[in-house]
Every structure is written in C-alpha cells, then in structure tokens.
Structure 1
Amino acid sequence: MNPDDLKKILDALSQADVREFSLTTGSFALDLKRGPQAVGMAAPASAPAPAPHAAPSFQPAAASSPAPAPAEAPSAPTPAASTSAAAETPAPAAAPAKPASAGTPVKAPIVGTFYAASSPDAPAYVKVGDTVSAGQVLCIIEAMKLMNEIEAETGGVVREILVKNAEPVEYGQTLFIIE
C-alpha cells in the first residue's frame, strides 16, 4: 500500500461516520479507530514506514529494516562506551580472584541494592576487623522494596567489604570476605 492509497482511505473515513476500520492485504495490516475528536491510527510498524519509502510501498520487511538502522547508529558510539566499561570490568573480576584465596566469600543471594546498615543514620552491621558468628546479619539487600537480611554462613573475622553502601549488587557477587 502506498502513501496515496492510505491518504485516500483516511479522507474517506473522516467524511463517513465510521468509528473503526481494519484492512489486511497480504502482510500489511491497518487498524483505524476514531475517537470523539479525530481518526487515530493503531497499526503495526509497517503502516507508518511506507510513507518515508516511496519505492517499496508495501513491504513489511522494508518497514522492519529501518527500525534496526537507528538502533545501529547508537550502537556505533556504544562500543566506545563499552570499551571504557570493559576497562572497568577487569577490576571487579580481579577483586574476586583475591578474596577466594584470602578467606570465605559471602555472596549476594539476590540482585538488589546493598545497604550496610538498617537505616541511613544507624551504624553499619559490620566493619572490617569485626568478629562475626554464623547467622549474624552482615547487611541488607533491597530487592523490589523488600529488605532481605544477609547473614554470615560461617564465623570469623571480616577481612574485606567489597561493596559500598547503596550500591547495586548482582546475584553471586562477592560482598564480604570472612577469614
């Protein structure tokens, strides 16, 4: 369907008292619904795409290809950003390698936000050098507005705290090293 045909349909519908209109030809589908004020188009991405492309008038594949093109344009600057992100990635990767040999890691059981204390004005549950026992609360991870207390699985001395307060954590990320 070319833009002229689409305009003719819209003109005819605006003059008629039609509230809804659907048209399917081949792989092209058009759904129009008129509200109290004007005719609105609720159609797949293929409906608006033919207007900019005069030559391929009714090819949904052509309509799909312009969508990835803009996505590719932002992708070009992104590799530069991911290069800097890649430079940051080895640093955290190096941190877990150190703790594995230094003691027992305490890992995040869920994805969320790490909190060292029960409230912003409360003291931290533990600090480096504190002795903890199995079952003692080490921190809180907030996930979907639920506060989950993370407890020590073994007793020992807190050697490292690898996460800063209010920092996002991922599943399996090492939070503490207990020796």
Structure 2
Amino acid sequence: MNPDDLKKMLDALTHADVREFTLKTGSFDLALKRGPQAFAPAAPSAPQMTGSFAPAPAVPAAPSAPAAPAPEATPAAKPAEEAAPVAPAASAGTPVKAPIVGTFYSASSPDAAPYVKVGDRVEAGQVLCIIEAMKLMNEIEAEQSGVIREILVKNAEPVEYGQTLFMIE
C-alpha cells in the first residue's frame, strides 16, 4: 500500500463514525482503533495504528532502552549544569526569541548587508532579521530599543520556537 492511499484512508476514517478498521491484503495487515474521546466535537483524535509495519517487539524494547541510558543521561546533565552559569554571564540583556519555527536570515538577500551587527543601536520596531517559514518571509522586529550585544544564530540556520536569537542591552 502506498503512502497516498494510506493517507486517503486515514482521512476518510477520521471524518467517518468508524471505531475500528482492519485491512488484510497479502502480507500487509493494518488494524486501526479509535478511542471514545475521538467523537467529542471539540477534540477529534487521529486513529491509532498497529500492524505488521510496526512490530510489537519494538514497544517492549523501548522501556528497557531508556533504562540503560538513564545513568549516562545523569553525567551528560552535569556538564550542561556546569555550562549554565557561564551563559547568563556572557549574555547580559534582554533576549529576542524566535516567535516561529523556520530558517534564520540576517539579511534581506544573500548579497545584502545584515540588518544588524553586534554593537549596533536598534530602536523598537526595527527589523532585526527574517525567519522563513513555509516559503513566507517573516520580519522579526525589536520589541525594545537598545544595543545588540550578541547574535546567537548563524545565517541560514534553522531555529526553533522560543530559541534566543539576539541579546539586546
């Protein structure tokens, strides 16, 4: 079964009043079940899928896998804690955070000068950068006046929602 056919089937089942669905063709076996909360008008849920494409042994193995890395996660957390005091000292000022997920651009085009550089004075409402999300260019503006103390993202780098882009003092 190709992914387009599966998506069409899932869409049809999501919009229909179907609680369980089973499909068996050759070596392919698909079973879908919806919980009672799926029929609440405010919060429809996606069908849960089980079948030959999701082997059952992988589910029991998942709890034992995190149990083994748990001791490793503790030492990994210690360096992060040790690095945490360094970050606030180096980043004095107010953070400018990404309001959306996308790609960070420091200038309007590859050959243009960046909107701002470290040490530049900015005014509230001034464009600091662009974040491209789904082929839309979103200008990110300063919410306050101040001086750019740090630029924490490189040009053309992906950014997450809430990630600090600049520090303004």
TM-score bracket, normalised by the shorter chain, equals: 0.5 to 0.7
What residue ranges of structure 1 are gaps of 5+ in the alignment?
1-28, 34-38, 50-62
Q: TM-score, normalised by structure 1?
A: 0.54
**Match of 2:24?**
32
Backbone CA RMSD of aligned residues:
3.9
Contact 2:120–2:147, Cα closer than 8 Å, also in 1: yes
Secondary structure of 2:113 counterpart:
coil
1:98 aligns with 2:85: no
Would you say how many aligned residue pairs link Structure 1 and Structure 2?
A: 132
Distance 1:104-1:86 versus aligned 2 partners, 3 A rule? same
Unmatched runs of 5 consecutive residues or more in structure 2: 1-20, 32-48
Q: Is it true that 1:142 corresponds to 2:129 in the alignment?
A: no
Q: Which has the larger radius of gyration?
A: 1
Cα distance in 2 between the residues matched to 1:111 and 1:80: 32
CA contact (8 A) 1:115 1:166 kept: yes
Match of 1:43 in 2: 30
Farther off after superposition, 104-113 or 123-132: 104-113
The answer to whether 1:161 aligns with 2:151 is yes
From 159, 162, 165, the counterpart of 1:172: 162
Equivalent AA in structure 2 for residue 42 of structure 1: D
Indicate the percent of aligned positions where both proteins have the same amino acid.
59
Q: What SS does the corresponding residue of 2:30 show, helix, strand or coil?
A: coil
SS where residue 160 of structure 1 aligns? strand
Partners of 2:28 and 2:52 within 8 A in 1: no
CA distance in 1, matches of 2:83, 2:108: 26
Q: 1:57-136 residue pairs with structure 2 within 5 A? A: 65-71=56-62, 86=77, 89-90=80-81, 93-94=84-85, 97-98=88-89, 102-136=92-126
Q: Give the residue type in structure 2 aligned to 1:151.
A: E
Return closer, same or farther for 1:78/1:117 CA change in 2, 3 Å cut-off: farther
